[in-house]
């Protein structure tokens, strides 16, 4: 069976039934964390199955354990690749890499689980770049376990950039009330201020603008944060970073017709975005953007890697070792991540 014509959804309007569902590769994340549970819950969700054909890349044995913990009676079926995935109720299709021992403890750091998490992402990236799946959705991995497993990446974003040969990408966080894209992410604050320059700011805004257009917003309204408190307060705070590093980028963007406003004091930018004035906020560094988005919607938050040659979304939470294996994890974020993966892949 061709991956371009996966099985139609069960039920629904005739027009929807005739439209092929994209195949979404779902990486299981760290097998010692909540990844197997949120994956098993999301890929059996009727809403997800109506939109796509989910294909887990992970460990069939661990998924069976997770399904039992959740009280799900879905059959876990090992398949060779996307061509064998059917995306039907009561069934979880998985490319089984078989890397985890059956007795892997829940909630404990494991080099084996860290290496396995990397191998799931590597396999999914290969499937996506070959055009055999239309999007990737990732369950959380643990950075310390990843490093113990021999893979020195700050996170999924940087890993996927290298695996796909992409020089520069951006992290976008999306929640029901707010979207944020980051100019810099997993580096220290002093390094972030040093790295910010007009070209990077401009490219980040353009990536965010294009991502929103792909998701159906024809004319995105973008608020761009300053670096310093009160946007520097006319030179009272900082050393003129706003005028040097941000203003030139905004001038070029507005000249091209992109609605990007700033530099705005961050507290003002997020307040205005929260009430609906902006479709997207551009944060200059990690915590400037992550704090507000997590306060407003971590349960349904989604992480989108913008600039890759493939669609990639993820949950906006971690491995939650403290509750892994208990069935208490909330799964809304994973379901929403898959919904947005389908939306972006369909708009491409």
- Is 192 within 8 Å of 184 (Cβ atoms)? yes
Per DSSP, helices labelled H in the chain are: 14-18, 35-43, 46-51, 60-70, 111-129, 143-148, 156-163, 189-195, 198-214, 241, 247-255, 266-274, 286-297, 332-347
Q: What is the pTM of this model?
A: 0.84
**pLDDT reported for residue 298:** 59
Q: Of 108-112, 170-174, 292-296, where does mean pLDDT reach its minimum? A: 292-296
Q: How far apart are CA 312 and CA 255, in angstroms?
A: 30
pLDDT tens per residue across span 189-233:
999 999 999 999 999 999 999 989 988 899 999 999 999 999 888
Decide if pLDDT at 6 tops 50. no
**Distance in Å from the first CA to the final CA of the chain:** 22
- Residue 346 CB partners (closer than 8 Å, separation 6+): 22
**Residue that has been written with the tokens 């979304």 in this structure:** 313
Q: In the CATH scheme, what is the code of domain 169-307?
A: 3.40.718.10
Q: In the CATH scheme, what is the code of domain 1-166+308-348?
A: 3.40.718.10
**pLDDT reported for residue 144:** 96
Decide if pLDDT at 7 tops 80. no
Please, where in the chain does CATH 3.40.718.10 lie?
A: 1-166+308-348, 169-307
3-state secondary structure of 171: strand
- Residue 257 CB partners (closer than 8 Å, separation 6+): none
Mean pLDDT, range 19-29, rounded to an integer: 92
Question: Would strands 53-58 and 91-96 be described as parallel, antiparallel, or unpaired?
Answer: parallel
Q: Of 98-112, 128-142, 330-344, where does mean pLDDT reach its minimum? A: 330-344
From 269, 232, 227, select the one nearest 249 (Cα to Cα).
Answer: 227
Mean pLDDT, range 295-313, rounded to an integer: 82
């Amino acid at each position: 069976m061709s991956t371009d014509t996966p099985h139609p959804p069960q039920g629904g309007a005739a027009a929807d039934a005739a439209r092929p569902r994209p195949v979404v590769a779902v990486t299981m994340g760290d097998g010692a964390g909540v990844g197997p549970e949120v994956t098993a819950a999301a890929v059996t969700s009727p809403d997800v199955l109506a939109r796509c054909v989910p294909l887990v890349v992970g460990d069939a044995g661990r998924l069976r354990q997770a399904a039992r913990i959740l009280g799900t009676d879905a059959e876990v079926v090992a398949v060779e690749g996307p061509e064998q995935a059917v995306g039907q109720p009561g069934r979880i299709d998985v490319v089984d890499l078989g890397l985890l021992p059956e007795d892997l403890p829940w909630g404990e750091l494991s080099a084996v689980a860290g290496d396995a998490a990397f191998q799931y992402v590597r396999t999914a990236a290969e499937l996506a770049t070959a055009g055999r799946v239309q999007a990737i959705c990732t369950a959380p991995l643990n950075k310390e376990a990843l490093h113990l497993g021999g893979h020195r990446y700050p996170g999924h974003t940087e890993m996927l950039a290298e695996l796909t040969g992409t020089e520069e990408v951006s992290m976008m966080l999306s929640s029901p009330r707010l979207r944020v894209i980051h100019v810099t992410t997993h580096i220290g604050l002093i390094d972030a201020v040093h790295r910010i320059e007009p070209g990077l700011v401009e490219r980040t805004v353009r990536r965010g603008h294009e991502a929103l257009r792909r998701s159906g917003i024809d004319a995105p309204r973008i608020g761009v944060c300053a670096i310093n408190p009160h946007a520097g307060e006319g030179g009272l705070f900082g050393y003129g970073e706003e005028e040097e590093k941000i203003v030139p980028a905004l001038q070029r963007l507005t000249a091209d017709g992109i609605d990007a406003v700033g530099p705005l004091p961050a507290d003002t930018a997020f307040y205005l975005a929260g009430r609906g004035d902006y479709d997207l906020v551009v944060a200059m560094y990690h915590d400037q953007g992550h704090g507000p988005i997590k306060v407003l919607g971590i349960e349904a938050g989604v992480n989108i890697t913008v600039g890759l040659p493939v669609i990639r979304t993820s949950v906006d939470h971690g491995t939650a070792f403290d509750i892994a294996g208990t069935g208490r994890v909330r799964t809304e974020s994973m379901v929403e991540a898959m919904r947005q993966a389908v939306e972006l892949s369909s708009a491409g």
